[in-house]
Amino acid sequence: MELIDSKKKKLEGPSIIAEAVKQGNTAGYPPATALAAVAKETQIAGAVVKQFGNTVFLSHRGKGDNRNKMIGRAFNVDTGKNFITNALDFISYLQEEGITHYTTWFTGADFLNGFRFFQRMTRGTDTQIGIAEREEGGYIVYIRIGKDPIPEGF
């Protein structure tokens, strides 16, 4: 995977999504199909698209009793260290928005290693991160976002 260090060159959100899809972030779909689906998903009412560095987070907030919960995913072409910083910044953003629970799923070890690092970084805080393998393959991550400040990245 070609990574683009956001400290040297910051890309626009659509370019990040397109590059991530091109590099295989497609959940098994052909890239053109995946890109069309993501483009449509960003237009769903209430979709939240946030960019930190060269990582774009696409999420959906719950309604009613679930208004403080969110599901989503990341499209990343940034370096590993920057991805960790970007994700921690995103979790801080969610905390500011009153989100208490965030769930994401993915395949591949790149994101898995990042979430394991987040687990270590948030030990001793009231934010908890659980990682599990999915029967279908890949991983699912549950984040319970507390009130303690989220640690900063690198």
Number of Cα atoms under 13 Å in the Cβ half of residue 128: 3
Query: Is 3 a domain residue?
Result: no
Counting residues of the chain whose pLDDT is more than 90, the rounded percentage is 72
Asked if the model's pLDDT at residue 49 lies above 80, the reply is yes
pLDDT score, position 107: 83
| Residue 151 placed within a domain | no
Residue pair 119/131 in contact by the 8 Å Cβ criterion: yes
pLDDT, position 2: 85
Structure tokens at 60: 């959906």
d(CA 61, CA 68): 7
- Which residues form the domain of 113? 13-144
Q: Using one digit for the tens of pLDDT, what is the confidence trace for 117-126?
A: 989 988 899 9
pTM over 0.85: yes
**Does residue 42 lie within any of the structural domains?**
yes
**CATH code, domain with 121:** 3.40.630.30
Q: Comparing 15 with 28, which gets the higher pLDDT?
A: 15
The number of folded domains in the chain is: 1
Cα separation, 124 vs 108, in Å, equals 27
Rounded Cα distance, 86 and 19, in Å: 17
pLDDT (average), residues 16-29: 80
Q: How many angstroms separate the Cα of 39 from the Cα of each of 66, 80, 141?
A: 25, 25, 24
Does position 26 have pLDDT exceeding 70, yes or no?
A: no
89, 21, 137, 61 alpha-carbon torsion, rounded to 10°: 50
Q: Residue 24: pLDDT band by 50, 70, 90 thresholds?
A: confident
In a domain, 6, yes or no: no
Tell me if 60 is assigned to some domain. yes
What pLDDT score does 129 carry?
Answer: 95
Q: Does residue 4 fall inside a structural domain?
A: no
pLDDT averaged over every residue in the chain: 92
pLDDT digits 0-9 by tens, 68-110: 999 999 999 999 899 999 999 999 999 999 999 999 998 877 7
Does residue 139 lie within any of the structural domains? yes
Region 55-72: mean pLDDT is 97
